[in-house]
Amino acid sequence: MKDIRNIVILTGAGVSAESGIDTFRDGGGLWEQHRVEDVATPEAFARDPDLVLRFYDMRREAIQTKEPNAAHRALARLDREWEGDLLIVTQNVDDLHERAGAKRVLHMHGEHLNAWCTACDARVPWTGPLLDRPACPECGEAALRPDIVWFGEMPYRMDAIFEALEQADLFVSIGTSGAVYPAAGFVRNAREFGAETLELNLEPSQGTSWFDEARHGPATELVTAWVEEVLGA
């Protein structure tokens, strides 16, 4: 690690799975008994907003009962102690990285504990339900929706992510399937920019072959060991 200064870490559902948060899809292609097409697209929201809002209200409530695990805490320690540049780009919409203490976090797919007003474009902290169409705290319109990037929508802050990848000496992918783009392509972007690449995942991802090194096992074990290795303690 002596030549490594700038690190970009991509985290996916596998980081939060051991905190009791379901991974995005199970083997049947369902997400908590719903088809993704019914709850995670703009078309679904236009077709049946009550179904979508009820689904995300349940998710938002559940997220607040979960706790960070050892993988979140290890990454927070790395964030705290690493003196070079570091960016944790997460596909997750929970707040467990932040609750563990991490500061340098970018949520590319949005956040459960935010709401987005489609009338005034404000994004506001939100912990309660949206089903009853509450007024936007900024403009007063009843136009709030989950601040979540749905399929067919552009992930947040892609320019900042690519800028970090361009400067990275090391790219680490943790707990992600390698199936959802554009995040699945970050390893190739990092390699093109000259970074070393490492996968930490429960099992080989769809993009394992693109990594210089891959380690497989539970995130709580792998991430903790890797952070200790990086920090030399």
Q: Determine the angle formed by the axes of helices 70-81 and 219-231, rounding to 10 degrees.
A: 20
With residues binned 3-state (H G I as helix, E B as strand, rest as coil), the percentages for the chain, rounded to 5, are: 35, 20, 45
The residues that are catalytic are: 109
Per this entry, what is the length of the chain?
Answer: 233
Check: CB of residue 92 under 8 Å from CB of residue 14: no
Distances (CA, A) of 113 to 55, 77, 105, 216, 230: 14, 23, 15, 31, 32
Strand 86-90: give its sheet, edge to edge: 105-107, 86-90, 7-11, 170-174, 196-201, 213-216
- Name residue 159's amino acid: D
Task: Report the helix count and the strand count for the chain, using DSSP H and E.
Answer: 9, 11
Task: Classify the phi-psi angles of 24: left when phi > 0, otherwise alpha if psi is within -120 to 50, otherwise beta.
Answer: alpha
